[in-house]
Amino acid sequence: MYHKTLCATLTLTLAHTHRNIRTSQGTFMTAQEDPSGVLNYIEDKVASLVGLPRNFGEAFNILRYKTGQHYDSHYDYCMRTGGVG
């Protein structure tokens, strides 16, 4: 899980600072971190629909767009020791 979070953070950081791909704000949140229970409800529905356990999923990517903000097309990637991988 750490590797996926690190890759996502790196991608978001590079997108925002170097290429201005994303001008929105975002974070990752698990259902357990959501005090409202909405993400827990969504996870239950998705697990039921696809027939897989909830723990097969990942944290939700929560985004906020203000007027005029955007997220352009791009390629995701992760930096690994010794190059891109």
**2-60: per-residue pLDDT in tens?**
444 444 544 555 444 556 777 888 899 999 999 999 999 999 999 999 999 999 999 99
Q: Residue 79: which pLDDT band, with cuts at 50, 70 and 90?
A: low
Token pair 């997220």 is at which residue?
71
Burial letters for 19-56: b for 16+ Cβ neighbours within 10 Å, e otherwise?
eebbeeeeeeeebeebeeeebeeebeeeeeeeeeeeee
Q: How far apart are CA 1 and CA 36, in angstroms?
A: 24
What is the pLDDT at residue 43?
96
Domain count, the chain: 1
What is the pLDDT at residue 12?
52
3-state SS, residue 50: helix
Could you list the residue range(s) of the whole structural domain that residue 75 is in?
2-84
Paired tokens of 10: 């790196």
Nearest to 8 by CA among 78, 81, 84, 82: 78
